[in-house]
């Protein structure tokens, strides 16, 4: 948790004061410098190099007016992400099925080749670079100045955990922010940062302690405690992630720069579609714009729409981590979305009756959506076998001491 | 107008909290203090600060008492002894002119926490003693954080410590050989303590946590986790029977690992005799570390104790050769401690299985035997020290 380190607290405090009292031109340089320091400090030299290379390639290829160059850029970015984040998974889990010995050999070779952990925030970098290259491919304007591109790529508040930015919204906001940031921006930003820290440190971290303790004795706790655990699990990820986003958005706001909101009361959603319009909004809109719509979206019949949705969510799941449980979590949401979008048509009278109830009693719709999402978090956080076992225990009153 | 008010409020809040923190740092918040029991220790996320420990010791010194600070792990804390706490017995044996402060905590290494508080005061107070249950041939760094809290850096940045050249050099050498991950932790810790030396947020937080409200959920305090920690009594769930009566409860695998005490680190196999002997490199390092950790001028005020493990458990988990090595480690450790001028005891050779709650923790009667040994040693140390003081005044 980079934002709750004392280094970040001190370094960003000094930076923000200097930023507030500086001339606009100096602010740009200061921000650039701090972004580089921030990234180097937390990623280390080994983590910075791949991003610098990938950024340079993206910048150069995006400037070209040749669509093939931009396509090449997108492929390179995706390959880099696959290489750093998914090589071991592909090798162990997929190639291992065809030949265990060869897969082990390849895995050992990859061990030597790959750093111990993937470069810091590579998933976010790649998504932002792909967005830029894709938009350029579709005729959107180029980022002229290298300084602007570096600011877009390395903007420190959103670097580690988003929100995933769009350059056409971010760069104008950056220009305005560096030219005229106000005391009001600073105070509102600071309030949001404080709210973010409260969510993260007071709420999420406490829930984490409870969850860690309850996980160990899930068999032994009573059935109602298991349901409390499930609610705690859902609240924990929300407070943790939205707290993090609040800090990022708040810090940017203190500089007079607006970042897109990432969470909008997601647990009040009335269906899965609504949930994904409120949860990690910058990611779900990215998936929609750069995976779902290019695949055909909802324009090619029901079956294709369902397939596109399931594929997009499978990818969304894998983006969170290289493991089967993330893939299953993505598929779970993909199928959930398919059911939520089509049950009224497919289930005939029964479907329409259920839909009628959900329309008339919003609480039932909200509770059902919350329940569905909460079960999904079991898949997200635990290995598959454990998640299924926990799910089973939620409906069992048996306790084992 | 609004931002101005807002920033004034933020600044004022910061100033008020800092002033409150500094005030808290100079006072002993604990009422009817006996020890840092489980609800007042790091295992339930409660952190007594080094300033609080210094304030507790100062309070006792101001009453003209000879203060005995007890540090170390759960054996020193008296875990499981309930009302028959060994330090209460030690207080009785030492008499009213002494004040025993049991500042040990479960899992705490012998040279941190209360030891740092001792370091900060001992040079100016010859009537201050430090007694710790120590693991033989194991010296962690005084600067090593205990559950994320480095008492050393806290005291260092707050200016509570006199300058101990060799100790400073030893810490610098340890830092040089740290891994990247360890250096990152250290850097964070140093920034935290530097900030705390300005804002005193830890002292404020710890005092509020004790007196007013707590904010961290822990399993042992689950139902009333927000309640101030002062309301938690020092009581243990139910007095355990000595282990001799419930041997099956023991995790023998754990006990064996604990009893073997990293033999592979201490010993090397002689290529000719094929027997295990102490590793010279390891011993040299240990001698150096203990020599640097306890400053020369304070050694007459330090007593280190190795409490032998339960003989019943040892006989079940170690073979004859291992038992021999186990004893060698303890005896050598005591010899090394005494060699540098620190008082040392290897306690437990005459203890019976009924003196132990488990593999290492003592029952009330076991604790009484420990306190008897410690009390007589303290009297001895005090006698020598008072003569020293006399000679010093004569000069």
Q: What is the pLDDT of residues A258-267, one digit of tens each?
A: 999 999 999 9
**Residue A220 near residue A397, CB atoms below 8 Å:** no
Integer Cα distance of A163 and A281 in angstroms: 8
Structural contact between residues A127 and A91, judged by C-beta atoms closer than 8 angstroms:
no
Instruction: Looking at A100-222, list the stretches that DSSP marks H as alpha helix, in order from N- to C-terminal side.
Output: 100-113, 122-137, 146-154, 167-179, 183-197, 205-216
What integer pLDDT is reported at residue B2 of this predicted model?
67
Joined together, the tokens standing for residue B270 give 């002689």
B346 phi and psi, to 5 degrees? Answer: -110, 100
Rounded to the nearest angstrom, the minimum Cα separation between A372 and chain B is 27
Burial class (CB in 10 A: 0-12, 13-18, 19+), B272: exposed
The pLDDT of A13-18, averaged and rounded, is 95
| CB-based contact, B187 to chain A, within 8 Å | yes
Per residue in A208-240, pLDDT (tens digit) is 999 999 999 999 999 999 999 999 999 999 999
pLDDT band at residue A295 under the 50/70/90 scheme: very high
Nearest CA in chain A to B6: A187
- Nearest-CA distance A360 → chain B (Å): 39
Instruction: List for chain B the helix, strand, coil content (%; round to 5).
Output: 55, 10, 35
| Alpha-carbon distance A76 to nearest alpha carbon in chain B (angstroms) | 31
> Are residues B111 and B155 in contact, defined by beta-carbon separation less than 8 angstroms?
no
**Given A7, A183, A202, which is nearest B215 (Cβ)?**
A202
CB contact under 8 A, B215 and A5: no
DSSP code for B35: B
Which stretch of DSSP H or E encloses residue B278? strand B276-278
Closest C-alpha among A354, A359, A335 to residue A272: A335
Percent of chain B with pLDDT over 90: 62
For residues A90 and A110, what is the distance between their CA atoms, to the nearest angstrom?
11
Report whether pLDDT(A33) > 60. Answer: yes
How many whole angstroms separate alpha carbon A320 and alpha carbon B181?
A: 25
> Taking CA atoms, what residue in B is nearest to A254?
B3
Contacts of B192 in chain A (CB under 8 A): 6
What is the signed CA dihedral for B45, B48, B51, B56, rounded to 10 degrees? Answer: 170
In this prediction, residues A29-39 reach a mean pLDDT of 95
Cβ pairs A/B, distance under 8 A: 38
Q: Which one, of B133, B136, B91, B382, lies nearest residue B259 by Cα? A: B136
Query: Would an 8 Å CB–CB cutoff place B4 in contact with chain A?
Result: yes
Q: Which tops the pLDDT comparison, A68 or B264?
A: A68
Is pLDDT of B393 > 60? no
What span, in angstroms and rounded, lies between the C-alpha atoms of B231 and B210? 8
Question: What are the tens digits of pLDDT across the range A150-160?
Answer: 999 999 999 98
How far is the C-alpha of A55 from the C-alpha of A47, rounded, in Å? 13
Among candidates B3, B4, B218 on the partner chain, residue whose Cβ is nearest the Cβ of A209? B218
Q: Are A200 and A4 in contact (CB under 8 A)?
A: yes
Q: What is the reported pLDDT for A366?
A: 96
Return all residues near B17 (Cβ < 8 A) that are at least 6 apart. Answer: B199, B201, B204
What does the buried/exposed string (b/e) look like for A328-346 if buried means 16 or more CB atoms within 10 Å of the residue's CB? bbbbbbbebbbbbbebbee
Beta bridge partners of B303: B131, B343
Per-chain mean pLDDT for chain A = 93
The whole-number pLDDT of residue A86 equals 92
Q: Do B2 and A10 touch (CB under 8 A)?
A: no
Contact list in A for residue B216 (CB cut-off 8 A) is 205-206, 209
What pLDDT was estimated at residue A113?
A: 83
Band (A401; pLDDT cuts 50, 70, 90) = low
Q: Kindly list the residues from chain A whose CB atom is less than 8 angstroms away from the CB atom of residue B7.
A: 183, 186-187
The DSSP-derived string for A248-314 is HHHHHHHTT-------S-GGG-SSHHHHHTTSSHHHHHHHIIIIITTTTTTSSHHHHHHHHHHHHHH
Q: What whole-number distance in Å separates Cα of residue B99 and Cα of residue B63?
A: 9
Residues A263 and A245 sit within 8 Å (Cβ to Cβ): yes
Which tokens go with B221?
Answer: 């305090």
* pLDDT at residue B347 is higher than 70: yes
User: What mean pLDDT do residues B265-283 have?
Assistant: 82
Contacts with B6 from chain A: Cβ below 8 Å: 187, 190
Tell me: the pLDDT tens digits for A58-94?
999 999 888 999 999 999 999 999 999 999 898 888 8
Instruction: State the smallest CA–CA distance between residue A183 and chain B in angstroms.
Output: 6
pLDDT digits (tens, 9 = 90+) for B128-145: 999 999 988 887 788 888
Question: Which residues, 6 or more positions from A79, have their beta carbon under 8 angstroms from its beta carbon?
Answer: none
How many other C-beta atoms can be found within 10 angstroms of the C-beta atom of residue B340?
A: 16
**Which single residue is written with the structure tokens 């405090």?**
A13
Distance between CA atoms of residues B361 and B368, nearest Å? 13
Q: Do A206 and B188 touch (CB under 8 A)?
A: no
Phi, psi for B85 (deg, rounded to 5)? -65, 135
Q: Other C-beta atoms within 10 Å of A369: how many?
A: 23
Of A6, A209, A213, the CB nearest to B195: A6
A299 in helix, strand or coil? Answer: coil
Which residues from A are below 8 Å from B217, CB to CB? 206-207, 209-210
Q: Check residue B345 and give its pLDDT.
A: 95
A chain contacts of residue B195, beta-carbon cutoff 8 Å: 6, 9-10
What is the pLDDT, as a whole number, of residue B238?
Answer: 60
Whether B391 has a pLDDT exceeding 50, the answer reads no
Lowest mean pLDDT among A129-138, A242-251, A322-331, B308-317: B308-317
Residue B36 CA to chain centroid, in angstroms?
Answer: 11
Q: How far B216 CA lies from chain A's nearest CA (Å)?
A: 6
The predicted pLDDT at position A254 comes to: 95
Choose among A7, A187, A210: nearest Cβ to B3: A187
pLDDT tens string B364-388: 999 999 999 999 999 999 999 887 7
Out of B7, B188, B219, the one facing A5 most closely (by C-beta) is: B188
Is the predicted pLDDT of residue B1 greater than 70, yes or no?
no
∠ CA(A245), CA(A249), CA(A255), 5° rounding?
155
Residue B193 in contact with partner chain A when CB distance is under 8 A: no
CB neighbours of residue A48 within 10 Å: 18
Report the residue of chain B nearest A185, measured CA to CA.
B3
Instruction: Please give the Cα distance from B285 to B291 (Å, whole number).
Output: 10
At B146 the three-state DSSP class reads strand
Shortest distance between the Cα of A44 and any Cα of chain B, in A, equals 11
Q: Are B51 and B25 in contact (CB under 8 A)?
A: yes
A6: nearest CB among B3, B191, B215 = B191
What is the rounded CA–CA span in Å between residue B68 and residue A52? Answer: 59
Q: Which residues in chain B touch residue A9, judged by CB atoms under 8 angstroms apart? A: 195
- What is the overall mean pLDDT for chain B? 89
d(CA B395, CA B382): 20
Asked whether the predicted pLDDT for residue B389 surpasses 70, the reply is no
The Cα B46–Cα B144 span in angstroms is 18
In order, the DSSP letters of A22-73 are: S-HHHHHHHHHHHHHHHHHHHHHHHHHHHHHHHHHHHHHHHHSS-HHHHHHH
Closest-CA distance of chain B to residue A33, Å: 21
Q: Which of B2, B4, B5, B6 to mutate to test the interface with A (most CBs of A within 10 A)?
A: B6
Residue B239 confidence (pLDDT): 56
Looking at residue A318, what is its pLDDT?
A: 94
pLDDT band for B390, please (50, 70, 90 cuts). Answer: very low
The verdict on a CB contact (< 8 Å) between B217 and A206 is yes
Cross-chain CB nearest to A7 (options B2, B191, B222): B191
CB < 8 Å to A187, chain B:
2-3, 6-7
The average pLDDT across B100-117 equals: 95
Distance CA B240, CA A41 (A): 51
Contact between chains at A187 and B2 (C-beta distance less than 8 A): yes
Nearest CA in chain B to A186: B3
Q: Is B3 on the interface with A (CB under 8 A)?
A: yes
A-chain CB neighbours of B219 within 8 Å are: 209, 213
Does B394 score more than 50 pLDDT?
A: no
CB contact under 8 A, A210 and B10: no
* Distance of alpha carbon B141 from the chain centroid: 12
Q: Which residue's structure tokens are 């050779």?
A: B349
pLDDT at B237: 64
Q: Distance (Å) from the C-alpha of residue B214 to the closest C-alpha of chain A? A: 11
List, as own/partner pairs, every contact residues A21-27 make where C-beta atoms lie below 8 angstroms and the sequence separation is at least 24, other chains included.
A24/A178, A24/A179, A24/A180, A27/A178, A27/A255
Whether A320 has a pLDDT exceeding 80, the answer reads yes
Report the distance separating Cα B242 and Cα B249, nearest Å: 11
Task: Look at strands B302-307 and B66-72 and give their pairing.
Answer: unpaired
Q: How far is B104 from chain A (nearest CA, A)?
A: 25
Cβ-contact B314, B259 below 8 angstroms: yes
B213 touches chain A (CB under 8 A): no
């Amino acid at each position: 948790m980079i934002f709750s380190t004392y280094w970040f607290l001190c370094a960003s405090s000094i930076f923000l004061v200097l930023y507030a009292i500086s001339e606009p031109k100096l602010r740009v340089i200061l921000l650039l410098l701090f972004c580089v320091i921030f990234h180097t400090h937390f990623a280390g030299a080994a983590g910075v190099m791949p991003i610098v290379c990938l950024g340079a390639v993206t910048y150069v290829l995006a400037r070209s007016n040749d669509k093939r160059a931009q396509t090449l850029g997108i492929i390179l970015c995706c390959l880099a992400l696959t290489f750093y984040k998914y090589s071991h998974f592909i090798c162990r889990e997929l190639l291992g099925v065809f030949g265990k010995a060869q897969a082990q050999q390849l895995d050992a070779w990859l061990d030597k080749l790959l750093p111990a952990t993937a470069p810091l925030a590579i998933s976010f970098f790649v998504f932002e670079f792909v967005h830029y290259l894709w938009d350029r491919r579709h005729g959107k304007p180029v980022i002229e100045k290298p300084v602007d591109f570096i600011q877009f790529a390395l903007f420190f508040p959103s670097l580690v955990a988003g929100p995933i930015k769009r350059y056409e919204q971010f760069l104008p906001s950056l220009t305005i922010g560096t030219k005229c940031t106000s005391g009001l921006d600073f105070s509102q930003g600071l309030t949001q940062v404080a709210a973010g820290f409260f969510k993260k440190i007071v709420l999420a971290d406490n829930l984490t302690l409870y969850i860690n303790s309850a996980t160990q004795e899930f068999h032994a706790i009573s059935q109602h405690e298991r349901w409390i655990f499930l609610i705690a699990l859902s609240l924990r990820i929300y407070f943790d992630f939205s707290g993090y986003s609040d800090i990022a958005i708040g810090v940017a706001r203190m500089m007079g720069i607006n970042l897109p909101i990432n969470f909008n009361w997601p647990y009040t959603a009335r269906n899965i579609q609504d949930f994904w319009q409120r949860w990690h909004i910058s990611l779900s809109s990215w998936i929609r714009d750069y995976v779902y719509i290019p695949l055909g979206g909802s324009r090619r019949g029901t079956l294709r729409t369902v397939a596109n949705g399931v594929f997009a969510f499978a990818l969304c799941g894998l983006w969170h981590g290289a493991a089967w449980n993330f893939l299953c979590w993505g598929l779970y949401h993909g199928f959930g979305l398919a059911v939520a979008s089509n049950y009224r048509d497919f289930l005939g009278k029964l479907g329409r009756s259920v839909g009628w109830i959900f329309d008339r009693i919003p609480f039932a719709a909200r509770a059902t959506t919350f329940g569905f999402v909460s079960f999904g978090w079991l898949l997200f956080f635990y290995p598959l076998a454990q998640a299924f076992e926990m799910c089973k225990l939620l409906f069992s009153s048996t306790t084992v001491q | 107008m609004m931002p101005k008010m807002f920033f004034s409020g933020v600044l004022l809040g910061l100033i008020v909290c800092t002033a409150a923190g500094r005030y808290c740092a100079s006072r002993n918040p604990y009422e009817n203090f006996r020890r840092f029991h489980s609800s007042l220790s790091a295992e339930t996320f409660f952190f007594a600060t080094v300033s609080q420990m210094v304030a507790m010791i100062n309070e006792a010194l101001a009453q003209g008492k000879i203060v005995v600070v007890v540090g170390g792990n759960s054996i020193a804390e008296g875990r499981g002894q309930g009302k028959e706490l060994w330090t209460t017995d030690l207080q009785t044996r030492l008499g009213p002119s002494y004040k025993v402060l049991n500042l040990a905590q479960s899992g705490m290494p012998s040279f941190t926490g209360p030891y740092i508080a001792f370091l900060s005061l001992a040079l100016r107070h010859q009537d201050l003693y430090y007694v710790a249950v120590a693991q033989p041939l194991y010296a962690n760094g005084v600067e090593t954080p205990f559950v994320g809290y480095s008492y050393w850096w806290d005291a260092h940045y707050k200016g509570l410590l006199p300058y101990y050249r060799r100790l400073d050099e030893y810490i610098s050498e340890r830092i040089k050989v740290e891994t990247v991950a360890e250096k990152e932790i250290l850097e964070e810790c140093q920034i935290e303590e530097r900030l705390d030396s300005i804002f005193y947020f830890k002292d404020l937080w710890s005092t509020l946590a004790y007196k007013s409200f707590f904010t961290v959920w822990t399993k042992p305090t689950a139902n009333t986790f927000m309640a101030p920690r002062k309301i938690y009594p020092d009581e243990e769930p139910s007095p355990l029977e000595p282990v001799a009566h419930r041997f099956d409860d023991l995790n023998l695998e754990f006990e064996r690992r604990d009893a073997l005490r990293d033999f592979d680190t201490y010993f090397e196999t002689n290529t000719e005799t094929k027997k295990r002997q102490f590793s010279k490199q390891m011993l040299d390092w240990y001698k150096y570390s203990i020599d640097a950790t306890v400053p020369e001028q304070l050694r007459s005020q330090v007593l280190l104790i190795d409490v032998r493990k339960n003989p019943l458990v040892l006989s079940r988990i170690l073979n004859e050769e291992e038992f021999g090595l186990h004893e060698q480690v303890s005896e050598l450790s005591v010899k090394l401690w005494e060699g540098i001028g620190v008082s040392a005891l290897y306690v437990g050779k005459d203890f019976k299985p009924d003196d132990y709650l488990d593999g290492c923790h003592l029952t009330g009667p076991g604790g009484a035997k420990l306190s008897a040994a410690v009390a007589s040693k303290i009297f001895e140390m005090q006698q020598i020290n008072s003569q020293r003081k006399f000679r010093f005044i004569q000069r």
